Amino acid sequence: MKIWKTFLLLCAVLVTMTSATIRHNTQTESTLAEAYQNAYNNQKSLFQKYTEIIKDQVNVGITTVSSACDKEITLKLLRAAQDTLNAFVTEVKDKNYECKTSPPDIEHATVVVTKVSETQQVAKYTCDQGYTYGGGYKEVLCEGDFGVWRLANVRCIECFKTAKTYQGNISITQEGIQCQRWDSQSPHKHPFDSSALPDQEISSAENYCRTPKYDEPWCYTTDPRMKRDHCDIPKCNINNEHDCGLPQSLTNAKARFKYTSNGARATYVCNSFSGSTKNIYCPVSQCSATGWSAASVSCSEHDCFINSTLYTGKRSCTSSGRKCMAWLDMYPHQHRYRMGPFPDDSPESAANYCRDPDKTGSLWCYTTDPDVRYEFCDVPRCDGML
């Protein structure tokens, strides 16, 4: 290979001198070197029979360049090397090489390989039971010319069929806080025993997310300042046919993705909080056939909390993007917090913003969806616990 590289370096001078002619008639030396290396790496055994031919051509070329620097002879040499490389590629294609190895293994997924042409195969991944699609390519191609599988990056994430029967092992909340054990009453006391959980014994539930109450898996947290929090677990059998690409990028917020039963969802999370202006906002965008839905972001000092009962920000939607019901309303859900307590001047001022009147340690609201009574709002803490 040293001889080959030396020849290419010398030829570079000639190529520069006769750039128009050489670019028109033959492939440049850098492209030849790249093609040579790729071919050698991908099908070494077949290329070996061409190696001596190319080496001979290179040796002749070095002699020619060093003695006479004859441009015409060098050009012929480059053409000969290109013809040799073309012959190699032709022979590989004529062999119709199939993939000699199995497609890449993906955790929690089953793969089925289908031959789609004489030189191509496709591996299609399906998530195992209890897991659902979480991003990446569901299908990967095997290039028959060299028998190489392309990168497989599909993700299969844990999911639940019904919230009440979920028995998975996720024990971290959506805010990244460790869950409290169900057989413990510290740091938060609770009324639940094994009869409220799908596990045979309450000790078997350990500190995993469960749904003894409400509509999605959750848990009490090990943080004394936050009593309970929602767990970031999607429903199974996701219908995620729409590909919206990346949502709009923002300078002071990053998009956090989640795949739900309604498709991809992006929630904007502020990088920092500053300023005192209060804005009404809903930082959740949903992917649909028409693209990403509109989202609004506010990153003032009022849009995070230290004490959830004192939060006065104006977030008006839940973590799933559902619109919050006004606290003074009693439809579609009857409730006992019409008059608060709220940190606002009046119940009217609380409007339909996320609040914590029952001191759960996390912001929430009743929703305008008749089928979903209330949800958490995943408003971040000001101390950086996201």
Class of domain 242-386: mainly beta
Instruction: Render the burial of 297-324: b for 16+ CB within 10 Å, e for the rest.
Output: bbbbebbbbeebbebbbbbbbbbbbbeb
Q: How distant is the alpha carbon of residue 300 from its chain centre?
A: 28
Cα 344 from Cα 330, distance rounded (Å):
19
pLDDT in the model for residue 67: 47
Instruction: Please report, for residues 12, 16, 79, the alpha-carbon distance to residue 23 in angstroms, rounded to integers and kept in the order given.
Output: 12, 10, 11
Domain ranges of the chain: 2-94, 109-157, 242-386
Cα 375 from Cα 323, distance rounded (Å):
10
Print pLDDT tens along the chain (386 aa): 433 433 333 343 333 333 333 333 333 344 444 544 454 455 454 455 555 555 555 555 555 444 445 556 666 666 776 676 666 656 555 554 556 678 888 888 999 888 766 667 788 888 888 888 777 777 777 765 556 777 777 888 888 888 888 999 999 998 889 999 999 999 999 999 999 999 989 999 999 999 998 878 999 999 998 898 888 888 776 555 556 666 777 878 888 877 665 667 889 989 899 998 999 999 999 887 788 888 999 999 999 999 999 999 999 999 989 999 999 999 999 999 999 899 999 999 999 999 999 998 889 999 999 989 999 998 998 875 44
Angle between helical axes of 2-17 and 29-42 (0-180°, round to 10): 150
Instruction: Please report, for residues 229, 239, 286, the alpha-carbon distance to residue 243 in angstroms, rounded to integers and kept in the order given.
Output: 30, 11, 11
Q: Which sign does the torsion angle of CA 240, 241, 242, 247 carry?
A: positive
pLDDT in the model for residue 100: 67
Q: Is 269 helix (H, G, I), strand (E, B) or coil?
A: strand
User: Could you count the other beta carbons within 10 Å of the beta carbon of residue 92?
Assistant: 20
Instruction: Please report, for residues 235, 239, 245, 248, the alpha-carbon distance to residue 287 in angstroms, rounded to integers and kept in the order given.
Output: 16, 11, 9, 12
Convert 80-146 into a string of H (helix), E (strand) and C (coil): HHHHHHHHHHHHHHHHCCCCCCCCCCCCCEEEEEEECCCCEEEEEEEECCCEEECCCCCEEEEECCC
Where do the DSSP E strands lie in the chain?
109-115, 120-127, 131-133, 139-143, 148-149, 156-158, 218-220, 228-230, 253-260, 263-270, 280-281, 284-288, 291-292, 314-315, 364-366, 374-376
211, 202 Cβ separation under 8 angstroms: no
Q: How distant is the alpha carbon of residue 149 from its chain centre?
A: 21
Amino acid identity, position 272: S
pLDDT in the model for residue 20: 31
Cα 297 from Cα 308, distance rounded (Å):
19
Burial of 352 (0-12, 13-18, 19+ CB in 10 A): buried
